[in-house]
Amino acid sequence: MLKTRPPLLYTACVGLLALVGSTAVAPTATAGPGLAEAAGTARAAPIPTPEQHFGFKMGAEGKLAGYPDVLRYMKLVAERSDRVDYETIGRTTMGNEYATVLISAPKNLRRLDRLVEINQKLSDPRNTSPEEARRLAGEGVPFYHLEATIHSSEVGNGQAINDIVHRLATEDSEFTRNVLNNSVIVLVPSQNPDGQHLIIDHFNSTAGTDYRRTYPDLYHKYTGHDDNRDWTMFTQIEAQYRLALEKKYRPAIVHIMHQKGNTGSRIFVPPYGGITSENVPANMSSSVSAIGQHAARALAAAGKTGVGSLDYHIFWTLEQPVGFFPFTGSGVYLTEIASVTDYAYPQVSPDGRPLGPQQARMSLIEPYRSNTWTLADIVDYAKIATYAGMEYTANNGRDLLYDNLYAVPHEYMTKGVPAGSYAFVVDAEQRDPYATFEMLQRLEWTQVEIDRATSEFVADGKRYGAGSYVIKMRQPRGNWAHQVLGTDRYPEVRDCGDCPVLLPYAEATTSLPLQLGVDVAEIRAPFEASLERVASVKLPQVTMPPAPGDRGAYLVRPESYGTIQIVSALQDANIPTFRAAQGFDAQGGSYPPGTYVVPATPQARNVLATASAKVGLPVTAVARAPRVAGVQLKPQTRVGLFRGVGNMPGGWDMWQFDQYGINYDVVAAQDFQRKSLNELYDTIVLSHGISKDDIVEGLDPKEYAEKYSWAYGVGDKGWRKLAQFVRNGGTLLAIGSSVATVQELLKLPIKPALPDDEDEFVTGGSLLHQEFDPTNPVAWGMPESWPIWLYDTQAWELTGKGTVVSKYPAEGEVLASGYLRGAEHIRGTVNTASFDVGKGQVVTYGSEITFRTLPRAQFNLLYNAIYHGPAAEVDATGLQQLRPRFGPDGALAGR
C-alpha cells in the first residue's frame, strides 16, 4: 500500500515530535483478490524483479541503482503487494524523501494498530504487569527495524534491499511464511537519503569520464559520515525522524547495516567485543549475540567464509544509534561488510594473496581464501545476514518482546540505575537558561520523564527553589537519563597484562550538563519534594522592559550561548551594538564584562523582542548606558568559513552557523583571485582539520569537475594571501588541528605541549577542567572554570608574546569526565590564546570547541572572537553616549 503523510509533521524549531503521537496510523490495506490465509500471495499484477526494474542484477560490477529509482521500485512493489506498505515520513535536510517500507503478512498489516499498541504496552512497565506482559508477548509479533544505510558511501546494502523486498513480497516458502506471519519488518531504505543522491548520482554522472567516481565532499550537507554520531543531541532532521520511528513502532530488534574497510574479516556479526557500560542491561547484548551467531551459521551453510565477530565494543559510546537503542529495549544487530574499490568495482589484493586475516581463531572461524571481493559478494553476504536476522526474530518473537521491550524498562523501574542514585536535580537558577532548555528538551525527545518542584525543597543538604527540575532514576528511561546526565570514569581494561588500555570505540564520555553548561546535582538519597510532571519543556517566558527613553539602552547579559542568536539578529537588522569591556552596576543589577549595550530605538526594541523570545533570555533596560570603556561591533560583520571539502568538523560548523543565523560564506578558491581577502571578509574561521595542504593543494581539477572548483587548491600565492589578510587587519580563528596550520602560516610564538605517543597521553574524547579569563574579550561571559572537550588535538605552550584566554589547571584534578592518561603533560598548558599580528588578530583554540556542536558551553569563545576582531574601541564617554564608530557604509568613522 502507498501512504503519504502530509509532509513535515514537525516544525523546524520544535523538531521531531509531532510525528510521533502515540496513535498508530491505520494501514489502509484491504483484502484484495488472491489474498491467501497464511502469508498472503502477490496480487495479480506482476511484481518485477530488481533486474527487470533496474536493468541489471543487484551487485553487478560498476552498476548502482540510484536512490529515487530504489524508492520507485519500493512504491511499485507496495502498489502490487498486500504484504508491503510504503510510507513517506518527510523531507530531508536537502529536500529529498525519507521513507519507510513495512513488510508483513496481510493479516498483520491489517492489525498493525493492535500490534503497535502491544509494543507500546510492553514498553511501559508501570501500566503493564509481568503477567499481562507475558500474555501480550504471546499475542504480538516483534518488529524488525532494518536500516539499510546511514553511511552513504557504503552502497552495497542499499542495493541488497531491493532483492530482499522482492523476495519477501513474492516468494511463497516456509521461510517467507515464517517471517511474514511472525514479525513486522520496518525497512528504512536509507537513513541519509541525501547521501544516496550525492554519492550515486556522482558515481553515475562520472561514468565514462576521466573524473574520479568517488564523491569528494560530505555526503550529508552538514554531518557527512558523522550522520551516525548525532544520537545525544539529535540535531539533524533525519535523526529526529529515526527517533520518532523508534517511539512509534518500538522494534524489538534494530538491524543496522554498514560496510567497513577491506583489510579485515568479510563481515562482522555480533557478539560484540571490548568493554560495556554497566548502564546497558545484559540481555541487550546477549539477545543480539544470538542473532549474530544465527547469521554466522547461515553464512557458513551458504559456503561464505571470512565471518568475524567479537569486535566493535559499541556499548560505551552514546553518539551512535548502536549506543542509543539498547537503552530503549531494542537489541542492536550490527552488520559490517568489507567494502570494494570505488563503491562498485572488485577489490583485488595487490600482492595476489587472499584478503583479510588468514589465521583461524574464535573471532574468525574460517578465513576468506580468495584474493578478490566484489559488490556481488557484499550483496550476497548482506542478504544472508539479513534473512538470518529476520528468521531468528520471527522464531523467537515471544522472548524478544518480553526480554527486550518489557524486561529492560521494567528493570530500570524496579532496580533503579546501577550507580544507585535517586535523582538528578537541575536548579531553577542557572547561568544559562537556554542551555538548560536545550538539555531538558533532549531528555524529553528521548522520553525521559521530567518533574518540576512546585515549592522549595532540600536534597542532599542543599535547598532548591520552586521551579527546579527533578529527574528520577526509577523510570523506564532511567538508565539513559543516568548515562547522559552523569559523569563517567572510563575503565582501564586491557586484553592482557602488558596490553594497552582498550580505548573507547568513539568517545569516553557524553555529559550533556558539562557540554552545554548546566549545573546539575546527582542525588543518592531519596528526598521529599512536591513535584508535578512536566508535560512539555518550554523556554522561559521573557517580556521586554518598558522603553527607557531616548538616552537609554537595552542590555543583554553575555553568559548564554543563546545570545549568539540575538547578536546575529542585531547584525542582520544593522542595529548598532556595543559591548561593555568592564563589569558595571546599573539599576539594581550587576553586569559582567562583555554585556551587550544597544541604543533604545524602536527598531532595536522590535529586533530584541523577537530574538530574545526565541532563546528565552531576558533583555533589561537602563535610562543611561554604562560609563565604561567598550567596543562597537562592526555592522554586518563579514564572516568566512574555511570548512574544507569532505571535512566533517567544517560541516558541523556550517550547521551551527546556519542555526544561529550567522551571516557567513564558505571561503572558496575563487575568493583568492581577489587582490586581497579583506575585500570579502572581516573574520575567517578555519574549522578543525584544515591543513596547509588542504589550502594550497586542495582538490585536483583533473579529478573533479568545475562544480567542485570552490575546493581547488589556491597555491603558495593563496597561502600568502591568507597571511596578508591577517596583517591587513583581518581576524583569523583556528580550531583544533588548524592551530598548527596557522602557526605555520604566521609563525605564531607557540609550540605543542602534548606528546604524540598514546602511551604517554590520550583522552579518548573526554571533558577536562579549564580556567578562563572572563575579562579577556574572547572569554567574555564565560565562568572562571568549566570543563572543555578534548579529543586528539593539541594543548600549547606560549614561547613569545600572546595572551592566554584559557588554560588547563596547573594543580588539582584535570579530568572532569571520561578518561585521561598523562595528566602531567597537560597541566598548566594553554588551550585558547590570542595574538596580534600586523593590524589583525589571531585566536587559537587548541581543543575542538565546536565538536559536533556538542560543547556548547564553549561556543561564546568562538562567537566573541568572530565579532570582536573587527569591532572598534569606544571610550567610557563614547559608550555612555552610544556614539557610533562605524558610518552607515560600515567603514570606521569618527576617529
In whole angstroms, the minimum distance from the beta carbon of 385 to Zn ion comes to 15
Q: Cα separations (Å) of 390 from 308, 376, 628?
A: 20, 21, 70
Q: In this structure, are residues 873 and 879 in contact, taking their beta carbons and an 8 Å threshold?
A: no
Query: In the complex, what is the shortest distance from the CB of residue 221 to Zn ion, in angstroms, rounded to a whole number?
Result: 18
Q: How far is the CB of 379 from Zn ion (least distance, A)?
A: 16
Positive or negative, the CA dihedral 127, 129, 132, 134 is positive
Question: What's the min distance (Å) between Cβ of 258 and Zn ion?
Answer: 3
Shortest Å, Cβ 225 to Zn ion: 7
Contact 835, 842 (CB under 8 A): yes
Instruction: Give the number of residues in contact with Zn ion, rule: CB under 5 A.
Output: 3
| Cα 115 to Cα 24: distance, rounded to the nearest angstrom | 9
Instruction: Select the span of 21-29, 148-156, 559-567, 861-869 touching Zn ion (CB under 5 A).
Output: 148-156
CB-wise, 80 or 258, nearer to Zn ion?
258
Q: Closest by alpha carbon to 856, among 561, 432, 518, 443?
A: 561
Instruction: Out of 213, 242, 258, 721, point to the residue binding Zn ion (CB under 5 A).
Output: 258
Q: Give kind and range of the element (H or E) at residue 395.
A: helix 375-395
Q: Which is nearer to Zn ion, 151 or 634 (CB)?
A: 151
Residue 229 interacting with Zn ion (CB under 5 A) = no
Which residue matches cell numbers 553575555? 558
156 vs 562, beta carbon nearer Zn ion: 156
Residues 708-747 within binding reach of Zn ion (CB under 5 A): none
At 761, which helix (H) or strand (E)? none
Comparison of 258 and 605: residue with beta carbon closer to Zn ion? 258
Q: How far is the CB of 260 from Zn ion (least distance, A)?
A: 7
Residue closer to Zn ion, measured from CB, 203 or 578: 203
Stretch that binds Zn ion, among 192-200, 232-240, 252-260, 274-282 (CB under 5 A): 252-260
CA distances from 244 to 21, 27, 97, 327 (A): 9, 18, 16, 15
Q: Residue 106 and residue 159: Cα distance in Å, rounded?
A: 25
Q: Which is nearer to Zn ion, 149 or 568 (CB)?
A: 149
C-alpha to C-alpha distance for 639 and 657, rounded to whole angstroms: 10
Grid coordinates belonging to 418: 546501577
Q: How far is the CB of 228 from Zn ion (least distance, A)?
A: 6
Q: Near Zn ion by CB under 5 A, which window of 255-263, 587-595, 799-807, 875-883?
A: 255-263
Tell me the window of 178-186, 253-261, 589-597, 733-741 that interacts with Zn ion (CB under 5 A): 253-261
Q: Does 151 bind Zn ion (CB under 5 A)?
A: yes
Neighbours of 804 (CB within 10 A): 18
- Least distance CB 256 / Zn ion (angstroms): 9
Alpha-helical regions (H) of 456-544: 478-485, 512-516
CA angle at residue 324 from 323 to 330, to 5 degrees? 105
Cell numbers given for 209: 569520464
Minimum CB distance to Zn ion smaller for 151 or for 250: 151
Identify which of 575, 662, 664 has the alpha carbon closest to the alpha carbon of residue 619: 575
Question: Which of 338/586 has CB closer to Zn ion?
Answer: 338
Whole-number minimum distance, CB 320 to Zn ion, in Å?
10
Binding mask 108-147 vs Zn ion (x if CB under 5 A, - otherwise)? Answer: ----------------------------------------
- C-beta separation of 731 from 684 below 8 A: yes
Residue 64 or 116: which CB sits closer to Zn ion? Answer: 64
Site for Zn ion in 48-67 (CB under 5 A): none
Q: Which stretch binds Zn ion (CB under 5 A): 161-169, 251-259, 358-366, 409-417?
A: 251-259
Which residue type occupies 763? T
Q: Looking at beta carbons only, is 27 or 158 nearer to Zn ion? A: 158
2 three-class SS: strand
Positions in 154-173 near Zn ion (CB under 5 A): 154
- Is 309 or 831 the residue whose CB approaches Zn ion more closely? 309
What is the rounded distance in angstroms from the CA atom of residue 466 to the CA atom of residue 368? 64
C-alpha cell at position 198: 550525492
CA distance 726 to 747: 12
Closest separation between CB of residue 144 and Zn ion, Å?
Answer: 20
Which residues lie near Zn ion (CB under 5 A)?
151, 154, 258
